[in-house]
Amino acid sequence: MDTDFTDLAFNRIYDRTYRKTAAYLTARCGRLSEVEDLLQETYLAVYRVLSIKGVSFFENEEAYVLSVAKSKLTDWYRSAAARTVSLNDEDDAWLQSVPDSGPLPQETAEYRETSAAVQELVAGKSEALRQAFYLHCCFGVPFPEIARLQNRNESSVRCGVFRLTRELRGKLERSAR
């Protein structure tokens, strides 16, 4: 298959599936620091299949990419013997609420600066709070669904995210002065 065609097809698949795949891995991953590695492994596997089998192989791009992400996540935890994470597909209806496209973080310098400030502050918070914050603020997952995913009380998830948002707003307003 032509490399330029493969690259164009891959970029189209990536743009259409990135947000849902990132949301899926963020919700399922035991540690947020591993999400980027798993995204990279997922899309590398998709690229390899695309270059060998072609675009016609992909009947449903989103379903295929999410199945690769699930497989990579399972393999990751199996091989790393990391903490157990539930990989049940019992109710991933929340994933349908994640938009298929949107601006990527690297699109503007201003966004990158703000993003870096947010990441710096959020990095000091608990894993559960960071996960809840990213799921709600970046992917729009509702609080009841986050509470279910984390096996936590909805009000504690909501209060934690609101407190962190208020803290971020204060920090960003101070730095804008």
Can you state the angle between helices 154-176 and 143-150, rounded to 10 degrees? 120
Q: Using CA atoms in the order 168, 172, 174, 175, what is the torsion angle rounded to 10 degrees?
A: 140
Note the pLDDT tens digit of each residue in 10-44: 999 999 999 889 888 888 876 777 888 899 999 99
pLDDT at 83: 43
Residues 68 and 133 in one domain: no
134 assigned to some structural domain: yes
Distance CA(161)–CA(144), nearest Å, equals 13
Q: 100 lies in a domain?
A: no
Please indicate, yes or no, whether residues 43 and 115 belong to a single structural domain of this protein. no
Of 37, 39, 35, 32, residue with least CA distance to 127: 32
Instruction: Count how many domains the chain has.
Output: 2
Model confidence band, residue 5 (pLDDT cutoffs 50, 70, 90): confident
pLDDT at 33: 78
Is residue 45 a contact partner of residue 23, using CB atoms and an 8 Å limit? no
Q: Distance between CA 172 and CA 177 in Å, rounded?
A: 9
* Better-scored residue on pLDDT, 30 or 71: 71
- Looking up residue 165, the CATH number of its domain turns out to be 1.10.10.10
Q: Does residue 72 sit in the same domain as residue 118?
A: no
76 or 115, higher pLDDT: 76
Give the mean pLDDT of 44-57.
Answer: 89
Which pLDDT score is estimated for 57?
85
Do 12 and 77 share a domain, yes or no?
yes
78 plus 9 within the same structural domain = yes
Model pTM score: 0.60
pLDDT band at residue 102, thresholds of 50, 70 and 90?
low
Domain membership flag for residue 96: no
**pLDDT surpassing 50 at residue 84:** no
Same domain flag for 83 and 111: no
Whether residue 77 is found in the same domain as residue 32: yes
Enclosing domain of residue 169: 107-177
Residues 9 and 83 in one domain: yes
Both 26 and 74 in a single domain?
yes
